[in-house]
Amino acid sequence: MGKKRPVIILILAFIWLFTTGCQPVAFTKIPDGASVLAVLNAREQTVSFLNAESGKNIATWKPDFTFARMLLTNSHTVLLYGKNAEDVRMLDMRTGKQTGVWKTGKGIANATLSTSGDEIYFADKLHGTVRIYTTAGQQKGEIKVGPSPFTMMEDKAHGKLYVMDLQDANMREIDLATSQVVRTFRLNESPMGGLLAADRDELWIGGHGRGDFPEKEVSVFSSETGQKLRNVHAPFMPVEFVRYGKDTLFVLSHGSNTLRRIAMDTGQSTGELVLGANPFGMVSDGQLLYITSYESNQIYVVDPKMMRTLKILRAGDGPIQMFVREGDGQ
C-alpha cells in the first residue's frame, strides 16, 4: 500500500494539472462603477480597458485565441471574434471569465447589435451571408447577400437591415420580417462605414475608394428610395461616423488624418481637426469623442464643440476599435 500511494498522488496531480490547464484563463475584473473605454489593439491582440474620465489603465486582457474585432452586447458582456477565428467568444467584464463559445466557423468579419438588444447580426465574409444570432448564441437565420458584407445598419421602425458590400460595392436592403433582400443599389468603390439617420430617411455612406483614387466624398442616399441625394466633401477615405445632436455629424477621414464636423442640413463643414497618423476608430460617450491613431498607438480625446484635443491617451499596439461602457455611478 505504501508503494502505491506516491503513484496515486502522482496520477491525481496529473489529473489536476490537466483539468485546470483546460480551463479558460480568467482576466482582470472590470468594475461596474466607472465609465470604461475599451480599446482593441490589433497588432498585439489585446483589449485595454481605460477609465473614460481619467484615462488611467484599469486592465489589459491578452487572450490566447484569435480575434480581430469586438462587440459590447450589454453593460458587461463582450464578444471577441474575427474572420479567421473558428469561434465567437463571450466574456463577462464583471468576472473576467469566458462565459460562452459559439461555434460559428471562420468568416465573421463584423457584428452589429440589433436596436432591440436581443439579436446580433454577423457579416460572414466567407459565405457571403448575414447570420442572425440570439445574444445567447443560437443562430436564428442566415440571409444570402454579396461576396464581402461588412457595414450593417438596422432601421427598426421599418424592419430593415442595410448591408454594404466591400467587394461588389452594393447596398442590399433586407426585409427582416421575410429575411429577403428586397432592394439593391450601387455605391462607390470599396464602401465602408456609414450611418442611418432614420429621422431624416437618409443613409450616409463612406469608403476607401480604389487604388490611386481614394474616396473624397460621403454619399447621402434616401433610405426610402435608394436614390443618391447628394455628395458631401470629406477627403480622404471617410470611414467613421458619429452623430451628435439632431443636426451634426462627425466624419473621420483616415486617409487625411482629419476629423470634420458636418452640418447635416447643408453638408458643409463647420470645423476640422487634424489628428495622429491613420486614425481609424471613433466613438462618443455623448459628451466627448474618442479617436484611435493606429500608427502612433494613441487615443485622442476631443471636445466636439470646440473642435480641439483635450488629452491624448496611451493605447496598446495598433488600436483600431473601441466602445464606451457607461458606469452605474457608484
d(CA 251, CA 273): 11
Q: Give the three-class secondary structure for 41.
A: strand
Please, is 38 exposed, middle or buried when counting C-beta atoms within 10 Å of its C-beta (0-12, 13-18, 19+)?
buried
Q: Is 139 within 8 Å of 126 (Cβ atoms)?
A: no
Average pLDDT, the chain: 93
**Cβ contacts of 215 within 8 Å, gap of 6 or more:** 188, 189, 190, 206, 207, 208, 209, 235, 236, 237, 238, 255
User: Among residues 240, 257, 296, 313, which one has the least CA distance to residue 43?
Assistant: 296
Residue-wise pLDDT tens digits, 56-94: 999 999 999 999 999 999 999 999 999 999 999 999 999
> For residues 262 and 221, is the Cβ–Cβ distance under 8 A?
no
In angstroms, how far is CA 161 from the centroid of its own chain?
17
Q: What number is the average pLDDT over the span 178-198?
A: 97
pLDDT surpasses 80 at 9: no
Question: In sequence order, what are the residues at sequence separation of 6 or more whose Cβ sits closer than 8 angstroms to the Cβ of residue 242?
Answer: 195, 249, 250, 282, 283, 284, 289
- Cα 245 to Cα 46, 213, 262, 303: the distances in Å are 33, 33, 12, 14
Confidence band for 327, pLDDT divided at 50, 70 and 90: confident
Query: Quick one: average pLDDT of 145-158?
Result: 97
Cell digits for 142?
442566415
Residues 121, 153: Cα–Cα separation, whole Å = 10
| pTM for this entry | 0.92
CA distance 169 to 185: 9
Rounded to an integer, what distance in angstroms lies between the CA atom of residue 202 and that of residue 218? 12
Q: What is the pLDDT of residues 238-283, one digit of tens each?
A: 999 999 999 999 999 999 999 999 999 999 999 999 998 999 999 9
| 3-state class (DSSP) for residue 6 | helix
Confidence of residue 34 (pLDDT cuts 50, 70, 90): confident
Q: Measure Cα distances from 309 to 104, 192, 303 in Å.
A: 40, 26, 6
Residue type, 230: R
In what side-by-side order are the strands of the sheet with 170-175? 149-155, 160-165, 170-175, 180-186
Residue the block writes with cell 487572450: 63
φ/ψ bin of 73: left (φ > 0), alpha (ψ from -120 to 50), beta (otherwise): alpha
